Structure 1
């Protein structure tokens, strides 16, 4: 009898507690995936443009460059990644293949690669060394693989798509984990194309069969984030100045969008308030005028103050900042770029050293069920995962007041 009494009492407590559980509010907009949330938390990503263009002085290689010119004699991926880490960057995206088609890894599907250069006596693998340096310094590693290939003879034909997908297989099966796949919107135009030296155009919407290509990558690494004009994981911010719109919605409706579609820059810059998918913006910009290193730009590196202003206009508006820092032809980051990154880090640390709202007393006219997990005090508890929420029947904006003086 005593056992039954205890059992009923326990059941009674369970029922009472269940009645007192205050459920969190239901989402009314699209919400980010776990991978997208982790991407948001990184804030700063280093973009590294490095290929034959570094040695020719071009921004876009034609595709006929000789691999023999690629020989960064002092190449040190550790110097790159250590510099980025000390500046507060959380990830690195490398241009494994730019539009010229030259590959920074010794793949088996093309001869236009690092294996036919004098670098490391033909045994070099820049992708491998950067990936390993990221692991050493605790940064995530991402890859840029240009869809447009001005060297390959089959570009514009169906056969090229198989070649491109084989390159993706090489990267995602041999250099993982890879957190972000960056697809450039530049597609089609003049090129070497195996010696044809002609102009080629493609249907940007259908040629690459993106759904199948993305599904292939996701089958190898399910947690990868895809970047393109249309997402689906992350969108371009619509300019190359690193500036998100003053109003910047992290939502977008991607149904009519695709990589390389023209005339959508304004939409990408501000997002869509009624967007059906969470597709946040990534704001890309170079620390120099160009994307690749050029000696004449050594004195034109953006100052720490300029970088800080860009940070406020990107991360400060809900985006992330993808800052390109190109190595020089020796294979190292130039001292001017390194010094600017150091100054940028000092400005960030000085500005955000103290959270002025932390620990301040907060009051509100309403909070959800008067439960602690939704109380106004959560606004100043220095925990970014906690929040204040009102009851569902509060149909107009609730208000809160921070009582202490700053």
Structure 2
């Protein structure tokens, strides 16, 4: 979780531009898309996200796929900017994979510096590959539609078009660097909520988040990734108490932090030596995920697992992620809910692509519902849209998409139990937020961090009972 981070910026105003023909300068307009009439809960699909982007050259690692990773952050330091070298008429382009109806293209500028560079550029679209190197030749290529954008009055420019296109290119007129935060394209394709996600939110309205891992023993919210496994040593671990407290509160499921950003795993993973098997803890089955799952099943509760894509000990690797997820999804029976963190906002999708990981999950565990805390607010990277309540506030009261409202019982909004953790909030506050969430098609995921013994503090146990008796 991001207790020290500010919320990613939400929607921003963009400059509407309407393409009026081949090689015409765009004029301001807005224009609706076919996706506007999609079923409730659906959203326009960004056709560029995750596509195979290329560019005329690459400057210091500013790879082309950074402008197709879903992030409009626009900061070079955050890995959000594609960047060519200094050259004549540099370009960025992508292949949508098939000819698709395109109603508009949105080009996002970087936000940290050099914003004036993105001016006098052209948006080119074609059903066939755009092979010419020079801008003039590319514009004159048969089947190419070209629209000029002279300047941006905000962080992005929107170019409206009505055509089929498979290939898109952004190209400068003069000599400069071409740097882009993101390129998006929208047409008549939509992303709709999955039946499993809608069912999950409806039938699992209330759950417990259990932040319990190495951070608990280092007395911090983000543990040192080079910590000593010997630090992790619960003396009275009691997953049965966790599960009973969930039942007492009227909850239907839990979510345990199997691996947080520091990379320490609460199961004996074959992919790393930084796990519970190397710790002094030998109680129960020596596998805390196993103990948790067994306790949940014994109480008739559904099972959720938190997994950080950002791994500061083992590094960022698609292979590592897939292998560890395969362990979690095949060793413990059905995992109902998989809650990702660190993806998109720290490890970009240009580094760890979303689709291969999601496809693997569907293959291994078809009915596992994914919640992804990237703060992008899109179903393209999550089955359930996450609202981190202490950072973002409660989700909208009227909402057609499946939503997760994750909050803390702690008055100090800590996730892991530390010396900074305060008293539990009043039951009335929690019940009020629970009702607000459920009224807006959201489940409510309430965090209670076990202490260093491995048990929930008694004042929290008592408050959970109170919540259950009044909700």
- Whether TM-score is above 0.5 comes out as yes
Gaps of 5+ in 2: 1-37, 43-191
**Is it true that 1:295 corresponds to 2:419 in the alignment?**
yes
Give the structure 1 partner of residue 333 of structure 2.
176
Question: How far apart, CA to CA, are the structure 2 residues paired with 1:322 and 1:36?
Answer: 15
Question: How far apart, CA to CA, are the structure 2 residues paired with 1:227 and 1:240?
Answer: 17
Question: Deviation of residue 302 (structure 1)?
Answer: 1.1
Tell me how many residue pairs correspond in the alignment.
Answer: 275
Question: Deviation of residue 217 (structure 1)?
Answer: 1.0
CA contact (8 A) 1:239 1:283 kept: yes
**1:111-150 aligned within 5 A:** 111-120=273-282, 124-150=286-312
**1:223-238 aligned within 5 A:** 223-228=367-372, 229=374, 230-231=378-379, 232-237=382-387
Question: How far apart, CA to CA, are the structure 1 residues paired with 2:274 and 2:344?
Answer: 19
Question: Deviation of residue 33 (structure 1)?
Answer: 4.2
Question: Deviation of residue 312 (structure 1)?
Answer: 2.6
Question: Deviation of residue 322 (structure 1)?
Answer: 0.7
The TM-score, its normalising length taken from structure 2, stands at: 0.55
The TM-score, its normalising length taken from structure 1, stands at: 0.64
2:394 paired residue among 229, 235, 244:
244
Give the structure 1 partner of residue 458 of structure 2.
335
CA contact (8 A) 2:417 2:451 kept: yes
Question: How far apart, CA to CA, are the structure 1 residues paired with 2:221 and 2:193?
Answer: 35
**Is it true that 1:222 corresponds to 2:383 in the alignment?**
no
Give the structure 2 partner of residue 98 of structure 1.
260
Give the structure 2 partner of residue 68 of structure 1.
230
**Is it true that 1:344 corresponds to 2:467 in the alignment?**
yes
Give the structure 1 partner of residue 199 of structure 2.
38
Question: How far apart, CA to CA, are the structure 2 residues paired with 1:172 and 1:225?
Answer: 12
Question: How far apart, CA to CA, are the structure 2 residues paired with 1:221 and 1:186?
Answer: 20
Pick the structure with more strand per residue. Answer: 2
Flag the 1:121–1:333 CA change in 2: closer, same or farther, 3 A.
Answer: closer
CA contact (8 A) 1:308 1:347 kept: yes
Question: Deviation of residue 28 (structure 1)?
Answer: 4.6
CA contact (8 A) 1:284 1:322 kept: yes
Gaps of 5+ in 1: 1-26, 190-201, 252-279, 349-406
Flag the 1:125–1:33 CA change in 2: closer, same or farther, 3 A.
Answer: same
Give the structure 1 partner of residue 439 of structure 2.
316
Give the structure 2 partner of residue 355 of structure 1.
none
Question: Deviation of residue 294 (structure 1)?
Answer: 1.5
CA contact (8 A) 2:388 2:407 kept: no
**1:164-203 aligned within 5 A:** 164-185=321-342, 202=347
Question: How far apart, CA to CA, are the structure 2 residues paired with 1:121 and 1:140?
Answer: 24
Flag the 1:122–1:207 CA change in 2: closer, same or farther, 3 A.
Answer: farther
Question: Deviation of residue 309 (structure 1)?
Answer: 2.0
The CA RMSD over aligned residues, in Å, is 2.2
Give the structure 2 partner of residue 286 of structure 1.
408
Question: Deviation of residue 126 (structure 1)?
Answer: 0.5
Flag the 1:85–1:295 CA change in 2: closer, same or farther, 3 A.
Answer: same
Flag the 1:222–1:73 CA change in 2: closer, same or farther, 3 A.
Answer: same
CA contact (8 A) 2:397 2:439 kept: no
Give the structure 1 partner of residue 113 of structure 2.
none
Question: Deviation of residue 184 (structure 1)?
Answer: 0.9
Give the structure 2 partner of residue 326 of structure 1.
449
